[in-house]
Amino acid sequence: MQIKIASLYVNDQDKALDFYTGKLGFTKMADIPMGPSYRWLTVVSPEGVAGVELALEGLHFEGAKAYQQALYSAGIPATAFVTADVEAEARQLRERGVVVRGEPVDMGPIKAVTFEDGCGNLIHLVQPLMTPAAQPE
C-alpha cells in the first residue's frame, strides 16, 4: 500500500490552481469535471516523489468549510511541504507575492515557516535538519 493522493480543501479551485502552479511551480496533473458540481483537480511537484498528487478539493459540504476555517483561525497548517533551504524558499515566495508569516524558526529537527495559499489554508514549509533514522522492516 502507498500514499498516492493527499487532499487539501480550497475555497476556490481556479484560484488554487493559479496559486499552486503560478506561485509554487507545481504542475497541473488532472482537471476533470465529475458531474454538475464536482471537479477532480490535482497538481504535482516537479521536485516531489513521482506519482504523488495533491488534490485541490472544493468545499462541497458544510463540514469541509468549518474544518478549513477552524484550522486557519487556530493558526494550524493544513499540510506541510519540504524544502532543502527554507530561508531561500521563503524569500522566493515573498518575491512572488506569497504571504509568508514571519521568518523561518529552528524547531530542533526542523527549521520551518508558515505561508498562506490565499485559498483558506496555512501551509507549513519545512527544512529537515537531521536525517531520519532507518525504520525497522
pLDDT in tens, 34-72: 988 899 999 999 998 889 999 999 998 889 999 999 999
Instruction: Name the pTM for this structure.
Output: 0.90
Which residue type occupies 17? Answer: L
Which residue type occupies 10? Answer: V
Residues 94 and 107 sit within 8 Å (Cβ to Cβ): no
| C-alpha cell of residue 45 | 511537484
Question: Which residue, 42, 8, 40, is CA-closest to 117?
Answer: 8
Q: How far apart are alpha carbons 48 and 32 in whole angstroms?
A: 22
Residues 54 and 44 sit within 8 Å (Cβ to Cβ): yes
CA atoms within 13 A on the CB side of 28: 13
Give the domains, in start order, of the chain with CATH numbers. 5-128 (3.10.180.10)
Question: Which residue, 83, 65, 61, 81, is CA-closest to 120?
Answer: 65
Low-confidence ranges of the chain (pLDDT < 70): 132-137
